[in-house]
């Protein structure tokens, strides 16, 4: 059985300001109406003999991940929550232990959640073929047939052909000669011209037991802590929580460094399926649908004499004149302008935002919660206005605030309000006032989204001014 392991952690800072720490690129719809995570799961439809996937994500994203899975109606997955980021080798290790408990012969297909693959049929065919080889205790990585001399990717140099007798159909598979770090342009050109080098995709396939054996050999402390983290982990609603103490004690390393560059079981299978890791705005321009001037456009744009550019408008119209090879990305609280060839430098801006403790590094004005979302509309000294959307059946926690009062005005749908010891319905154009210190709760008992305007007043309006008494989603803060 093939069990897909989807690596959905990470913050995707190179796609700032659209991707942020609490709303990263894998949870955003960058290439079509579905998010990157949803596209990754849908891509598995052509894979044979597959079991329920395992998704690895961090705690802050857990409800968004669960909701996006529910929207596409995929097989019920296991969602494993990382208490801290420890890179890809430990993430796959906990997935391997989890899969091995129920199926000792499980084959893991490891994929990041933020890759774009144009040809799903070619992808599925390659995975089905690779699964037959993986049963022979080899560790497969997929090398992307290079289309250009890229300096943003690591490379794999192929060795001699292998595994031809392991399956009944013709396939290319090679021993791994070496892994190569990201080259300069001249070196990348030589790699492509030689025909011996492939882009390192960061996708892998191997038996869960094989991975555990090899990681035990090369990273014994890592495998020990990961095994303990799974053994002491606990189910929580739709999630599996790793033991925090054990996992945080785990060394941090990638699969490449921890295992693949050391093992003698490594095999590389070439993959040609229109792959891109969408790691920068330039890569989104490369994969996007272009107009007659080679521009990739999203949202409300107005252009004159603009060529070879990527322009993304989220909230307002973006107008541009006389630009070439540029990136413009607009959100409700930030605008990015950059030459196309400097798109990798966005990480420096994000570092400056974090060092200044600016909220734009981590969150958008629209913040998602398990019950829906809220968006800041206006704020000043001693007041803040928010637009709150509660999905059908959504329930906010029973709570109170020590420093602010709230006024709720329903603009769409019906609200069930708890206010101290009473509960009552509010319909469109009706409102209620919640004085400072009153215990309250908001619910949507209807079948359509509930929308309301919340006006907060008081000396302190931070999100941490909250005391929770009950929460159906198991949150404590």
Full 3-state SS string of the chain: CEEEEEECCCCCHHHCCCCECCECHHHCCCCCCCCHHHHHHHHHHHCCCECCCEEEEEHHHHHHHHHHHHHHCCCCCEEEEECCCCCHHHHHHHHHHHHHHHCCCCEEEEEECCCEECCHHHHHHHHHHHHHHHCCCCEEEEEECCCCCCCCCCEEEEEEECCCCCCCCCCCCEEEEEEECCCCHHHHHHHHHHCCEEEEEEEEEEEHHHHHHHHHHHCHHHHHHHHHHHHCCEEECCEEECCHHHHHCCCCCCHHHHHHCCCCCEEEEEECCCEECCCCHHHHHHHCCCCCCCCEEECCEEEECCECCEEEECCCCEEEECCECEEEEECCCCEEEEEHHHHHHHHHHHHHHHHCCCHHHCCCCEEEECCEEEEEEEEECCEEEEEEEECCCCECCEEECCCCEEEEEEEECCEEEEECCEEEEECCCCEEEECCCCCEEEECCCCCCEEEEEEEECCCCCCCCCEEEECCCCCCC
Instruction: Tell the CATH topology of 367-470.
Output: Jelly Rolls (2.60.120)
| Beta-strand relationship, 266-271 and 174-180 | antiparallel
User: In whole angstroms, what is the distance from residue 432 CA to residue 130 CA?
Assistant: 61
pLDDT surpasses 80 at 170: no
**Residue whose entry in the numeric block shows the structure tokens 């300001």:** 17
pLDDT band at 42, cuts 50/70/90? very high
74 pLDDT higher than 90 = no
**How much is the average pLDDT of 377-395?**
95
pLDDT in tens, 435-456: 999 999 999 999 999 999 999 9
Model confidence band, residue 238 (pLDDT cutoffs 50, 70, 90)? confident
The model's pLDDT over 217-228, given as tens digits with 9 standing for 90+, comes to: 999 999 999 999
pLDDT of residue 103: 84
CB-neighbour burial class of residue 170 (10 A; exposed 0-12, middle 13-18, buried 19+): exposed
Write down the pLDDT at residue 312: 97
Q: Are strands 155-161 and 107-112 parallel, antiparallel or unpaired?
A: unpaired
CA distance 346 to 338: 9
Does the pLDDT at position 390 exceed 90? yes
How many angstroms separate the CA atoms of 181 and 164, rounded?
Answer: 29
165 has a pLDDT exceeding 60: no
% pLDDT > 70, the chain: 98
Q: Contact at 8 Å (CB) between 327 and 309? A: yes
**Which residues in the chain are classed under CATH 2.60.120.10?**
367-470
Which pTM was predicted? 0.88
pLDDT digits (tens, 9 = 90+) for 337-380: 999 989 889 999 999 999 999 999 999 988 889 999 999 999 99
Looking at residues 271-299, what average pLDDT do you find? 92
List where CATH 3.90.550.10 sits in the chain: 2-276
Q: What is the mean pLDDT of the chain?
A: 92
CB count, 10 Å around CB of 108? 24
From the options 3.40.50.300, 3.90.550.10, 3.40.630.30, 3.40.50.720, give the CATH code of 2-276. 3.90.550.10
**Does residue 292 carry a pLDDT above 70?**
yes
Say what the pLDDT of residue 169 is: 53
pLDDT per position as a tens digit, 302-323: 999 999 999 999 999 999 999 9
Q: Length of the chain in residues, anyone?
A: 477
Residue 67 corresponds to which tokens in the numbers above? 């909701």
Q: Residue 12 — very low, low, confident or very high, per pLDDT cuts 50/70/90?
A: confident
Write the pLDDT tens digit of every residue in 94-105. 999 999 988 888
In this predicted structure, the answer to whether residue 267 has a pLDDT above a threshold of 80 is yes
Query: pLDDT-derived band of residue 161, with 50, 70 and 90 as boundaries?
Result: confident
């Amino acid at each position: 059985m093939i069990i897909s392991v989807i690596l959905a952690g990470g913050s995707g800072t190179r796609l700032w300001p659209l991707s942020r720490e609490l709303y990263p690129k894998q949870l955003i719809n960058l290439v079509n109406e579905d998010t990157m995570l949803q596209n990754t799961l849908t891509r598995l439809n052509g894979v044979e003999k597959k079991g329920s996937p395992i998704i690895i994500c961090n705690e802050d994203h857990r409800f968004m991940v669960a909701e996006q899975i529910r929207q596409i109606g995929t097989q019920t997955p296991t969602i494993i929550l990382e208490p801290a980021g420890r890179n890809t080798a430990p993430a796959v290790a906990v997935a391997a232990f989890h899969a091995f408990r129920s199926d000792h012969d499980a084959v893991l297909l490891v994929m990041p959640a933020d890759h774009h693959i144009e040809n799903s049929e070619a992808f599925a065919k390659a995975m089905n073929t690779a699964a037959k080889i993986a049963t022979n205790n080899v560790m497969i990585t997929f090398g992307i047939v290079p289309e250009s001399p890229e300096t943003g990717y690591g490379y794999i140099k192929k060795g001699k052909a292998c595994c031809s007798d392991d399956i009944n159909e013709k396939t290319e598979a090679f021993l791994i000669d070496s892994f190569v770090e990201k080259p300069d342009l001249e070196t990348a050109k030589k790699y492509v011209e030689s025909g011996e080098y492939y882009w390192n995709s960061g996708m892998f396939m191997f038996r869960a037991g094989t991975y555990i054996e090899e990681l035990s050999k090369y990273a014994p402390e890592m495998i020990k802590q990961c095994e303990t983290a799974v053994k002491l982990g606990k189910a929580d609603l739709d999630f599996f929580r790793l033991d925090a103490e054990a996992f945080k004690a785990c060394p941090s390393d990638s699969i490449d460094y921890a295992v693949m560059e050391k093992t003698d079981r490594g095999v590389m299978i070439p993959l040609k399926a229109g792959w891109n890791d969408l790691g920068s705005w330039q890569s989104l321009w490369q994969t996007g649908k272009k107009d007659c001037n080679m521009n990739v456009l999203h949202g409300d744009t107005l252009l004159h004499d603009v060529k070879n550019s990527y322009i993304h408008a989220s909230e307002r119209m973006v107008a541009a004149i006389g630009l070439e090879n540029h990136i413009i990305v607009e959100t409700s609280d930030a605008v990015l302008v950059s030459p196309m060839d400097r798109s990798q430098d966005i990480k420096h801006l994000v570092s400056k935002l974090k060092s200044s403790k600016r909220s734009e590094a981590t969150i958008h004005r629209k913040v998602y919660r398990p019950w829906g979302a809220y968006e800041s509309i206006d704020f000043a000294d001693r007041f803040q206005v928010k637009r709150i959307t509660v999905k059908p059946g959504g329930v906010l926690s029973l709570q109170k605030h020590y420093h602010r009062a709230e006024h709720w005005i329903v603009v769409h749908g019906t609200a069930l309000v708890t206010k101290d010891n009473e509960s009552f319905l509010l319909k469109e154009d009706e409102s209620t006032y919640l004085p400072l210190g009153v215990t309250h709760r908001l619910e949507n008992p209807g079948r359509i989204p509930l929308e309301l305007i919340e006006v907060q007043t008081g000396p302190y309006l931070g999100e941490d001014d909250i005391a929770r008494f009950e929460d159906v989603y198991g949150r404590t803060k």
